[in-house]
């Protein structure tokens, strides 16, 4: 599951496609306000793939929905800014009116949802839903759309003619997922958000979706934001990984660093919680305790009740993301202690051998 | 005794959780008291008083008087018993038939199943009210029991289908499997294991069967097809119609009385189902 | 569907057995539905025939006795006249009478009226049925369409004042028997407030009116049908509204609606093609039941408004004990309901592609 080596990153441009700054999203629930996304900031560059990992309920999906402002009625974006840039023209997503937002969705930013099982209108053929999408964004030439879709369907290894004339229920789950993926590429968006793209798929279909994503990323020019609790998927596809905990981004690092030099105790816990297939023996420990209550989150660092390194400072003061290495940010008061500890353990392991 | 009061209090608390449903429930109880206790309190006015035809609302006649000067309120009080009795009997008969047919169909299966469901399908196909009219033309429904029985016989199919589906799904559950493993017999399984799980559904269906029975019986009486004598909301309605009372502007209270009695009774039954549904189905306990 | 038929046709000459052809036909959605409807009609006809013959008060015997006692006919004369009117040999065994009756039915012969001597029942029905179909059909269209709109509006504006008003109105009017609403319309609009000329509105059209595609005629028939239609609409619109509201709320939570928004579809397209179309599907299944109920209840409404429809005719035939008319109308109403069911089912299968494929269930 580990990235074999730092991936060559020459496909990543310097231009920032999406800049998110201090974003807060909360839900109105019966018991009180659920602070689902708390002060999240990150930059996504053109051509870059960034994975967001974390336990379920940590705010990953809310973050994704918030970026295209498709949150449920009970949710509200409290603060922050989301800036989208294409060809040097920057627009603020949060200030768009409904028509601009409608045009932005899918044409600029396509979100592929988790569990695409019910992503399609059951009473319309795929070709009509494709045409609906194209027409909504000003396309008038049916033939041009058709040609483009056939090409995309081949790209995701689907039989174009058969799929086009099918109703959603006539396709398998994996096929539907790939149709949605192809549909996501239809308008050449510059940003694609993938929410749990492989859950609810069987292992073989997962494999083929991953292969498709990998080859697409190399062939086409877009930024990819991937939301997943599946660390192996992130390891295979991402350039950078953001770890989320209790609505906060607690660590952002290149994929290689995330897996081999994580600084945040939570990231370490997440990685250790995954068994490896390579035969390397590691302590398979899961993180003790339960995910925090987002209505009344713990004071200070939200992770402190479950953290082995927790100190008094952690209980009182919330750490901010700070840059600790090349393109490596972490929000932890004790990251140096974590680092020292890991060094000691590495020496210990080496000593045993 | 204490346990009884405690249970009663819990039941009332659950019932009052849904406001609309609780009001419906209170009205149902009001109509039961009105129709079964009321006649002992308010005597039926049978004397013709020609000088008091269509008298306006007054203290003496809170609902005015009818075409021969009789007190309308007394007729409303005495006119509910038959309507409520037929409604309840028809509902109960159809529920019993539906339970038997539905569970037999589900548990025996095969030819019996397709036979019963086929029969249900045919009965559902035949438009009920015209059939009742034809039957009323052939038979004389001069007894409320016959009427209740016929209404019950015609209205079991849709409930029996639902019961069949429920039994089929409940049959697979653990507690029924366990009962079967203990060889407790089909009757026991149905009555003790399956039916309690469907209590809310049955109660709601019983009430809906009652509203259908009220609709049909009053309709038949109104058309003059059921030669019922005595006081009955349906008969009041029919007399108001045939005596031409509807064309007298002064007769409004007289016409409104049976109309409102029937409409309110129907409404309270329908609204009461909301409380019942919530009481038996905790997931619905939202208080809305 | 179509491919199955052509396939079957193409294969037949090549020597495929009738059995396999039948099996193919049984798998065909349309054919299977048609067969079920046909069997239902057959059962209802048979039941009606035997039910009436086996009644303790056999209406045929009653009529014969009436002819003897009231018109002084001899027993044979009376019996012959009854047989002629019914187009059945009354001396033949019951099974043969049944056969004759069925042959007559297939030829469209429903017998002859006892009361309006010499008038075939078929002709009487042909005169009255169109009015019922017209008034009921128009009402159904109005209340179905309006109910869907109101239900969707309520679902989109949940918990608003408008929603509460619509929902309360709907639950009250769907619980009150339709004839009570009809009576109140007559009493309030016609008598108390004198807003409508109730007596002129009776009948299905004004005397001396010639049917045709003239504006005058169309205005006239709507004038006469206005009250029955209002009653049907008032009492059925509530259940459509409530059903559509809950169905819309469920549909709004579906993934494909969220995805459609993410795809940037216009609000109009999402409301019609995605939410509306899917939310209305369950309503089409209850359309069939509703048709039966309204046609069945038309007797009461037509009685109240003195509307010359088939329900009124049925009532007249019962009070005058005109048994062939009664039987004929009952059968025609049942046919109409079965036919309407069939149409509703086909409509549904056109609207929901999943039914066509999984039609076996």
Residue A294 CA to residue A301 CA, distance in Å, equals 13
What strands lie across the sheet with A328-330, from one edge to the other? A109-112, A191-195, A223-227, A49-53, A240-245, A248-254, A328-330, A322-325
Count H helices and E strands in chain C, helices first: 16, 0
| Beta bridge partners of residue A50, listed in sequence order | A225, A240
Stretch 233-272 of chain B: residues touching chain C, C-beta under 8 Å = 237, 241, 246-249, 252, 255-256, 259, 262-263, 266-267, 269-271
Which single residue is written with the structure tokens 């059945």? Answer: C88
Return the residue of A nearest to C351 by Cα: A123
What strands lie across the sheet with A89-92, from one edge to the other? A33-45, A16-28, A75-86, A89-92
CB contact under 8 A, B249 and C303: no
Interface check for B19 against chain C (CB to CB < 8 A): the answer is no
Residue C289 CA to residue B256 CA, distance in Å, equals 31
Contact (Cβ atoms closer than 8 angstroms) between residue B17 and residue B268: no
List of chain A residues whose C-beta atoms are within 8 Å of the C-beta of residue C255: 113, 115-119
Q: What mean pLDDT value characterizes chain C? A: 80
Q: Percent of chain A, pLDDT > 90?
A: 14
Residue C285 CA to residue C243 CA, distance in Å, equals 11
Give the pLDDT mean for A183-198. 86
For chain B, the domains span 14-45+59-79+230-288, 84-215
CB contact under 8 A, B263 and C40: no
Structure confidence at residue A344 (pLDDT): 59
Q: Is C116 exposed, middle or buried (0-12, 13-18, 19+ CB in 10 A)?
A: middle
Least confident of A204-208, A242-246, B99-103: A204-208
| Beta bridge partners of residue A133, listed in sequence order | none
Structure confidence at residue A228 (pLDDT): 85
Residue C204 CA to residue C131 CA, distance in Å, equals 7
Would the pLDDT of B281 be above 80?
Answer: no
Structural domains for chain C:
121-360 (1.10.3720.10)
**Closest CB from B125, B133, B255 relative to C337:** B125
ipTM of the complex: 0.84
Which single residue is written with the structure tokens 């018993």? Answer: B81
Subunits close to B (at least 3 CB pairs below 8 A): C
Give the pLDDT mean for B10-38. 81
Interface check for C57 against chain A (CB to CB < 8 A): the answer is no
Look at A293 and A254; give whichever has higher pLDDT.
Answer: A254
Contact (Cβ atoms closer than 8 angstroms) between residue B240 and residue B250: no
* Beta-carbon contacts of residue B228 (< 8 Å; ≥ 6 apart): B82, B141, B142, B144, B221, B234, B235
Asked whether at least 3 C-beta pairs link B and A within 8 Å, the reply is no
**Closest CB from C40, C176, C303 relative to B267:** C176
User: Cα separations (Å) of B66 from B56, B232, C180, C181, C309?
Assistant: 10, 14, 18, 21, 32
Give the pLDDT mean for B28-49. 82
**Closest CB from C55, C191, C311 relative to B246:** C191
Residue C82 CA to residue C60 CA, distance in Å, equals 7
Would the pLDDT of B191 be above 80?
Answer: no
Least confident of A155-164, B189-198, C99-108, C280-289: B189-198
Would the pLDDT of B2 be above 70?
Answer: no
Stretch 67-126 of chain C: residues touching chain B, C-beta under 8 Å = none
* Beta-carbon contacts of residue A285 (< 8 Å; ≥ 6 apart): A269, A272, A273
CB contact under 8 A, B259 and C319: no
pLDDT in tens, B104-132: 888 777 888 888 888 888 888 888 888 88
Residue B235 CA to residue B86 CA, distance in Å, equals 14
Q: Which helix (H) or strand (E) holds B206?
A: helix B199-222
| Beta bridge partners of residue A86, listed in sequence order | A89
| Beta bridge partners of residue A65, listed in sequence order | none
Rounded to an integer, what is the distance from CA B46 to the centroid of its chain? 28
Give the predicted TM-score (pTM) of the model. 0.82
Contact (Cβ atoms closer than 8 angstroms) between residue A256 and residue A323: no
Return the residue of C nearest to B263 by Cα: C176
Structure confidence at residue B288 (pLDDT): 34
Question: What would the two tokens of residue B253 be?
Answer: 């209270």
Structure confidence at residue C148 (pLDDT): 93
Å between A111 CA and nearest CA of chain C: 7
Question: What would the two tokens of residue B256 be?
Answer: 């409104």
Would the pLDDT of C2 be above 50?
Answer: no
Question: What would the two tokens of residue A167 be?
Answer: 């109703």
pLDDT in tens, C229-251: 999 999 999 999 999 999 999 89
**Closest CB from C255, C266, C278 relative to A136:** C266
Structure confidence at residue A300 (pLDDT): 85
pLDDT in tens, C89-116: 666 677 777 887 788 888 777 777 777 7
Which of A175-184, B225-234, C267-276 has the highest average model confidence (pLDDT)?
C267-276
Angle at alpha carbon of residue A15, lines to A12 and A18, rounded to 5°: 100
* Beta-carbon contacts of residue C51 (< 8 Å; ≥ 6 apart): none
Least confident of A240-244, A288-292, B190-194: B190-194
Which of A37-51, C24-38, C107-121 has the highest average model confidence (pLDDT)?
A37-51
Structure confidence at residue B12 (pLDDT): 73
Structure confidence at residue C147 (pLDDT): 93
pLDDT in tens, B121-168: 888 888 888 888 888 877 777 777 888 888 888 888 888 888 888 888
Question: What would the two tokens of residue A139 be?
Answer: 């396309």
Would the pLDDT of A304 be above 80?
Answer: yes
Give the pLDDT mean for B241-251. 78
Give the pLDDT mean for B51-56. 72
Mutate to test the interface with C, among B54, B138, B254, B272 (most CBs of C within 10 A): B138
DSSP state at residue A105: B
Interface check for C262 against chain A (CB to CB < 8 A): the answer is yes
Of C325, C148, C330, which Cα lies nearest the Cα of C245?
C148
Stretch 276-315 of chain C: residues touching chain A, C-beta under 8 Å = 277-278, 281
**Closest CB from C264, C281, C354 relative to A106:** C264
Look at B196 and A70; give whichever has higher pLDDT.
Answer: A70
Provide the number of CB pairs (under 8 Å) joining chain B to chain C: 110
Phi-psi region of C108 (alpha: psi -120 to 50; beta: other; left: phi over 0): left
SS3 A87: coil
CB contact under 8 A, C192 and B252: yes
Of A112, A114, A118, A115, which Cα lies nearest the Cα of A169?
A118
pLDDT in tens, C165-222: 998 888 888 888 989 998 888 888 877 777 777 777 787 777 777 777 788 888 888 8
**Closest CB from B223, B246, B271 relative to C187:** B246
Mutate to test the interface with C, among B18, B20, B24, B125 (most CBs of C within 10 A): B125
Residue A132 CA to residue C273 CA, distance in Å, equals 10
Q: Half-sphere exposure (CA, 13 Å, Cβ side) for C315?
A: 25
| Beta bridge partners of residue A92, listed in sequence order | A83
Give the pLDDT mean for A271-283. 57
Structure confidence at residue A285 (pLDDT): 52
Residue C62 CA to residue C68 CA, distance in Å, equals 10
| Beta bridge partners of residue A75, listed in sequence order | A27
Of C272, C317, C283, C284, which Cα lies nearest the Cα of C299?
C317
Angle at alpha carbon of residue B178, lines to B173 and B180, rounded to 5°: 100
Interface check for C313 against chain B (CB to CB < 8 A): the answer is no
Contact (Cβ atoms closer than 8 angstroms) between residue B202 and residue B208: no
**In sequence order, which ranges of A196-334 are alpha helices (DSSP H)?**
203-219, 231-237, 255-260, 265-272, 312-316
Q: Which helix (H) or strand (E) holds A251?
A: strand A248-254
Structure confidence at residue C356 (pLDDT): 63
Stretch 109-168 of chain B: residues touching chain C, C-beta under 8 Å = 121-122, 125-131, 133-134, 136-139
Structure confidence at residue B177 (pLDDT): 67
Count of Cβ atoms closer than 10 Å to residue B127 Cβ: 24
Return the residue of A nearest to C263 by Cα: A106
Angle at alpha carbon of residue B162, lines to B157 and B165, rounded to 5°: 125
Interface check for B215 against chain C (CB to CB < 8 A): the answer is yes
Q: Is A307 exposed, middle or buried (0-12, 13-18, 19+ CB in 10 A)?
A: buried
Å between A102 CA and nearest CA of chain C: 5
* Beta-carbon contacts of residue A297 (< 8 Å; ≥ 6 apart): A35, A38, A246, A247
Backbone φ and ψ for A243, nearest 5 degrees, come out as -100, 130
Question: What would the two tokens of residue C249 be?
Answer: 């709320």
Count of Cβ atoms closer than 10 Å to residue A126 Cβ: 26
CB contact under 8 A, C262 and A120: no
pLDDT in tens, C303-355: 888 888 888 888 888 877 777 888 888 888 888 888 888 888 888 888 888 87
List of chain A residues whose C-beta atoms are within 8 Å of the C-beta of residue C266: 102, 136
Q: How far apart are the first and last CA of chain B?
A: 33
pLDDT in tens, A72-117: 888 889 889 999 998 888 889 888 898 889 989 988 899 988 766 7
- pLDDT band for C10, please (50, 70, 90 cuts): very low
């Amino acid at each position: 599951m580990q990235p074999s080596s730092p991936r060559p990153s020459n496909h990543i441009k310097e231009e920032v496609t999406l800049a998110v700054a201090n974003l807060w999203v909360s839900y109105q629930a019966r018991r009180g306000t659920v602070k689902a996304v708390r002060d999240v900031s990150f930059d996504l560059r053109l051509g870059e793939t960034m994975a967001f990992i974390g336990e379920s309920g940590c705010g990953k999906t809310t973050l994704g929905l918030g970026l295209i402002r498709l949150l449920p009625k009970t949710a509200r974006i409290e603060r922050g800014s989301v800036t989208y840039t294409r060809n040097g023209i920057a627009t603020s997503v949060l200030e768009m009116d409904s028509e601009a937002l409608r045009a932005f969705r899918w044409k600029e930013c396509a979100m592929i949802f988790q569990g695409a099982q019910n992503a399609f209108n059951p009473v319309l053929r795929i070709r009509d839903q494709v045409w609906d999408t194209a027409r909504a964004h000003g396309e008038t030439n049916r033939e041009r759309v058709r040609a483009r879709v056939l090409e995309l369907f081949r790209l995701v290894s689907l039989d174009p003619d058969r799929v086009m004339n099918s109703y959603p229920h006539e396709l398998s789950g994996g096929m539907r997922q790939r149709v949605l993926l192809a549909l996501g590429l239809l308008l050449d968006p510059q940003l694609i958000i993938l929410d749990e793209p492989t859950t609810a798929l069987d292992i073989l279909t997962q494999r083929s979706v991953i292969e498709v994503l990998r080859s697409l990323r190399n062939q086409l020019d877009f930024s990819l934001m991937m939301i997943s609790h599946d660390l192996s998927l992130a390891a295979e596809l991402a350039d950078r990984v953001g770890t989320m905990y209790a609505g906060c981004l607690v660590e952002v690092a290149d994929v290689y660093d995330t897996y081999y030099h994580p600084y945040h105790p939570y990231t370490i816990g997440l990685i250790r919680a995954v068994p490896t297939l390579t035969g390397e023996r590691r302590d398979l420990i899961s993180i003790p305790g339960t995910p925090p209550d987002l209505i009344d989150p713990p004071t200070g660092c939200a992770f402190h009740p479950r953290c082995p390194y927790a100190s008094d400072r952690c209980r009182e003061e919330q750490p901010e993301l700070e840059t600790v290495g090349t393109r490596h940010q972490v929000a932890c008061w004790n990251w140096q202690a974590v680092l020292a500890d890991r060094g000691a353990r590495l020496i210990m392991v080496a000593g045993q051998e | 005794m204490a346990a009884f009061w405690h249970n009663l209090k819990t039941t009332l608390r659950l019932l009052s959780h849904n406001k609309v449903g609780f009001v419906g429930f209170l009205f149902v109880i009001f109509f039961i008291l009105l129709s079964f206790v009321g006649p002992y309190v308010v005597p039926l006015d049978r004397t013709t008083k020609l000088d008091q035809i269509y008298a306006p609302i007054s203290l003496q006649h809170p609902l005015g008087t009818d075409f021969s000067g009789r007190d309308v309120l007394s007729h409303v009080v005495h006119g509910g018993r038959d309507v409520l009795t037929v409604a309840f009997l028809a509902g109960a008969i159809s529920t019993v038939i539906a339970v038997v047919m539905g569970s037999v169909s589900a548990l025996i299966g095969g030819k019996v199943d397709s036979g019963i469901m086929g029969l249900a399908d045919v009965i559902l196909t035949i438009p009920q009210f015209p059939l009742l009219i034809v039957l009323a033309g052939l038979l004389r429904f001069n007894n409320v029991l016959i009427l209740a029985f016929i209404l019950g016989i015609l209205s079991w199919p849709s409930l029996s289908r639902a019961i069949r589906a429920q039994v089929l799904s409940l049959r697979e559950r653990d507690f029924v499997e366990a009962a079967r493993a203990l060889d407790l017999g089909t009757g026991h399984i149905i009555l003790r294991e399956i039916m309690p799980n469907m209590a809310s559904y049955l109660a709601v269906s019983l009430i809906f069967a009652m509203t259908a029975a009220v609709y049909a019986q009053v309709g038949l009486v109104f058309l003059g097809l059921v030669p019922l004598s005595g006081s009955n909301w349906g008969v009041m309605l029919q007399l108001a119609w045939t005596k031409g009372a509807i064309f007298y502007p002064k007769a409004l209270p007289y016409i409104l009385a049976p109309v409102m009695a029937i409409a309110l009774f129907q409404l309270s039954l329908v609204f009461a189902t909301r409380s019942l549904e919530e009481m038996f189905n905790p997931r619905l306990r939202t208080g809305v | 569907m179509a491919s199955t038929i052509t396939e079957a046709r193409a294969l037949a000459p090549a020597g495929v057995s009738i059995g396999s052809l039948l099996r193919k036909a049984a798998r065909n959605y349309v054919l299977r539905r048609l067969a079920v409807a046909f069997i239902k009609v057959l059962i209802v006809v048979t039941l009606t025939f035997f039910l009436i013959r086996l009644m303790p008060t056999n209406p045929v015997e009653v009529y014969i006795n009436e002819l003897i006692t009231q018109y002084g006919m001899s027993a044979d004369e009376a019996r012959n006249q009854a047989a002629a009117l019914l187009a059945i040999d009354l001396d033949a065994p019951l099974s043969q009478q049944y056969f004759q009756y069925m042959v007559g039915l297939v030829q469209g012969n429903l017998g002859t009226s006892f009361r309006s001597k010499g008038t075939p029942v078929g002709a009487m029905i042909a005169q009255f049925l169109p009015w019922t179909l017209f008034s009921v059909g128009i009402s159904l269209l109005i209340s179905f369409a309006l109910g869907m709109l109101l239900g969707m509006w309520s679902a989109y504006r949940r918990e608003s004042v408008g929603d509460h008003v619509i929902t309360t109105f709907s639950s009250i009017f769907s619980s009150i028997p339709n004839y009570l609403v009809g009576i109140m319309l007559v009493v309030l609009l016609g008598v108390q407030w004198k807003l409508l000329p109730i007596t002129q509105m009776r009948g299905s059209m004004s005397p001396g009116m010639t049917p045709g595609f003239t504006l005058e005629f169309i205005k006239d028939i709507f004038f006469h049908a206005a009250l029955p239609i209002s009653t049907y609409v008032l009492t059925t619109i509530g259940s459509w509204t409530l059903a559509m509201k809950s169905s819309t709320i469920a549909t709004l939570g579906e993934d494909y609606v969220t995805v459609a928004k993410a795809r940037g579809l216009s609000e109009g397209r999402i409301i019609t093609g995605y939410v509306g179309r899917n939310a209305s599907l369950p309503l089409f299944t209850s359309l069939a039941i509703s048709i039966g109920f309204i046609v069945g209840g038309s007797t009461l409404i037509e009685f109240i408004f003195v509307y010359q429809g088939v329900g009124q005719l049925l009532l007249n035939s019962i009070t005058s004990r005109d048994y062939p008319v009664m039987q004929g109308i009952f059968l025609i109403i049942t046919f109409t309901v079965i036919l309407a069911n069939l149409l509703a089912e086909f409509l549904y299968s056109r609207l929901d592609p999943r039914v066509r494929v999984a039609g076996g269930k």
